[in-house]
Amino acid sequence: MFVPGVRPGQLYGYRVRGPFDPPNGLRFDSSKVLLDPYGRAIAVPGSYSREAASREGDNTAKAVKSVVVDPRAYDWEGEKPLHRPAVRTIIYETHVRGFTRHPNSGLSEKIRGTDAGMVEKIPYLRELGITAVELLPIFQYDAQDCHGVKLGQPDWSPWSHSLALSAESPKEKVLFHVILNAYWQPLEFELPLPGSHGAGPWRRWIDTALDSPHDIVEWKEAQSISSPSYRAGSRSVAVLFATVEEFVP
């Protein structure tokens, strides 16, 4: 798609029109701004709200936007492709952060888990016979989608011990909050407020840290959670739910 006059740095988004038929998987809503799935950069406004995308009305001011970039403007500083044949190529796949974040990388704390740390390890990779490094997919993540023990603070490191996320079922009018604790000790997870969705309190449905038959119960017997956090046992999974009186998809 070519738009005359658009220059690098321009913010943009899509509006898609179509039928709104949730039972058949169709949820078109032209009042919502969507990202370009092939975009090369995004901009997150200070007013960003993931929740605004699931509520009625225009979310332009609170939506993440795509950004027009010009890849030709990047200065390669004289670097050129090596044109090494595939049969002579040994590829090493790694994460930039995870490759040198641990102290056993032998790097100073200042550059561990950084691009500079990656550069410092090039001699080591060459000693292994590596001829090419492939950085594993680097994606922008939504800090309001998943989190660790603290709301809005995802832990995506290779040594992550915790993850929590919420989901909603408009048809059943239920909110779910899933907690995973892979740590060897119990962890206290902050809980989002179900009341912001018009829902009642969180109730514990599943907790694999509990002894049977309390590890999974019928919904009508689920215990209400009155505190703003939930203590998940070591190496456990917990599922909380909250019923919604007036669910707005």
Structural domain contains residue 2:
no
Does 152 lie in the same domain as 205?
yes
Residue 187 is part of which domain span? 146-243
Q: What are the DSSP calls for the chain, one per residue?
A: ---TT--TT-EE-B-----EEGGGTEE--TTS-B--TT-S-EE--TT--TGGGGSSS--GGGS-EEE---GGG---TT-------GGG--EEEE-HHHHH-SGGG---TTTTTSHHHHHHTHHHHHHTT--EEEE-------TTTEESSSTT----STT--EEEEEEEETTTTEEEEEEEE-SSS-EEEE---GGGGTB---EEEEETTSPTTTTB--GGGPEE--SSEEEEPTTEEEEEEEEBSS---
Does 90 lie in the same domain as 58?
no
Does 122 lie in the same domain as 64?
no
Structural domain contains residue 49:
yes
Does 32 lie in the same domain as 121?
no
Does 180 lie in the same domain as 216?
yes
CATH of the domain at 202: 2.60.40.1180
Q: Is the pTM of this model over 0.85?
A: no
Does 117 lie in the same domain as 53?
no
pLDDT tens string for the chain (249 positions)? 788 999 999 999 999 999 988 778 788 999 999 999 999 999 999 998 887 887 889 999 999 999 999 988 889 899 988 899 999 999 999 988 888 988 899 999 999 989 999 999 999 999 999 999 998 867 777 766 677 788 877 776 666 778 898 887 767 788 899 999 988 889 999 998 876 556 678 999 999 999 999 999 998 899 999 899 999 999 999 999 998 764 444
Does 16 lie in the same domain as 60?
yes
Structural domain contains residue 190:
yes
Structural domain contains residue 207:
yes
Structural domain contains residue 183:
yes
CATH of the domain at 23: 2.60.40.10
Structural domain contains residue 162:
yes
Q: State the total domains in the chain.
A: 3
Domain boundary among 46, 72, 98: 72
Does 114 lie in the same domain as 66?
no
